[in-house]
């Protein structure tokens, strides 16, 4: 269950006003610390601070590091754990430590960017568009290769996503990302105030479970399809990304380069195919 907060509010309807309580999505910062072996021995650095909904922080950290190209697979990870001080306070922590195996080489200069992100924009501070184009460890999806997806299957996915959005049902303020197999069965769903965080949590779980590459799956997101979400999906080897909202022009360009089927406006019995239309039968 996605954690929520309840606060007192004044509810106004017409000229009437009454006291009530409202459920809100929780938004807190998460600091991701990276432990690895550098040129001068063991190093630790703060790699990212992102605003997120608490929960599944290990998945978020693993997914973020993978989709940024720092991890090539689960075998690079030594440990992902919450950081707690010597005298921990009760409750959750907002720091997660990721330790890599000694064989992993981290070229942090290549990742030149400002790693502070907000819940509404996961790529703010990127040095350039070129820095965004992380190279997937998996070859791109090729035309003529399955899965083939029927339009009737795609039409069913938004309802299956919506039915499992407990946090959105309570707050109305959370994005969701869900992983489906080629038969339309929902395998994973995560919610977060940031759409990019929800995707990282899903892909992080798949990474930790040894499911990558996701060659026979569909990723559905509850909002729009940005360049960053297409990049994350491409990194995981996904052949299809579908969105309830609109894609951006750069998202379409990257999907075409990656051989990915990109579907937008998937709602109310309709959708547009912006890339890879041969996969929709």
Mark whether 240 is an active-site residue. no
Q: Which residue has the higher pLDDT, 38 or 225?
A: 225
Q: Enumerate long-range contacts of 248-257, CB under 8 Å, 24 or more apart.
A: 248/224, 250/129, 251/225, 251/226, 251/227, 254/133, 254/227, 254/230, 255/230, 257/140
Domain positions in the chain: 28-131, 151-279
Q: 28-38 and 95-100: which strand pairing? A: parallel
pLDDT at residue 124 is higher than 60: no
Mean pLDDT of the chain: 86
The active-site residue out of 23, 49, 121, 208 is 121
Comparing 89 with 106, the larger pLDDT belongs to 106
Topology adopted by domain 151-279: Cytidine Deaminase; domain 2 (3.40.140)
Segment 14-32, tens digit of pLDDT? 999 999 999 999 999 999 9
Quote the pLDDT of residue 262. Answer: 97
Structure tokens at 200: 């990282």
pLDDT at 114: 40
Per the annotation, where are the binding residues?
265-270
Does the structure show a pLDDT above 90 at 41? no
The reply to whether 151-279 shares the fold of 28-131 is no
Handedness of CA 36, 41, 44, 45 (dihedral sign): negative
Cα 18 to Cα 268: distance, rounded to the nearest angstrom: 35
Question: Is the peptide bond preceding residue 147 cis, with omega within 30 degrees of 0?
Answer: yes
What is 28-131's CATH topology?
Ubiquitin-like (UB roll) (3.10.20)
């Amino acid at each position: 269950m996605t954690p929520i907060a309840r606060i007192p509010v004044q509810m106004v309807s017409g000229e009437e006003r009454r006291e009530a309580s409202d459920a809100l999505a929780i938004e807190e910062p998460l600091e991701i610390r990276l432990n690895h072996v550098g040129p001068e021995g063991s190093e630790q650095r703060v790699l990212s601070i992102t605003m997120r909904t608490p929960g599944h922080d290990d998945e978020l950290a693993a997914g973020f590091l993978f989709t940024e190209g720092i991890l090539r697979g689960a075998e690079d990870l030594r440990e992902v754990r919450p950081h707690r001080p010597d005298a921990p306070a009760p409750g959750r922590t907002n720091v997660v430590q990721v330790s890599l195996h000694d064989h992993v080489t981290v070229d942090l200069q290549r990742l030149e960017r400002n790693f502070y992100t907000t819940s509404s924009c996961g790529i703010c501070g990127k040095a350039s568009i070129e820095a965004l184009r992380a190279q997937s460890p998996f070859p791109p999806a090729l035309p003529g290769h399955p899965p083939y997806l029927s339009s009737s299957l795609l039409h069913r996915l938004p309802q299956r996503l919506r039915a499992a959005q407990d946090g959105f049902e309570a707050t109305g303020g959370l994005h969701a990302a869900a992983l489906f197999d080629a038969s339309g069965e929902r395998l994973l769903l995560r919610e977060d105030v940031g759409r990019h965080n929800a995707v990282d949590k899903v892909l992080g779980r798949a990474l930790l479970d040894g499911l990558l590459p996701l060659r026979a799956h569909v990723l559905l997101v509850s909002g729009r399809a940005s360049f960053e979400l297409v990049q994350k999906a491409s990194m995981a080897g996904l052949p299809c990304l579908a969105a309830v909202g609109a894609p951006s022009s750069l998202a379409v360009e990257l999907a075409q380069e990656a051989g990915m089927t990109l579907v937008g406006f998937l709602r109310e019995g309709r959708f547009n195919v912006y890339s890879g239309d041969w996969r929709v039968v």
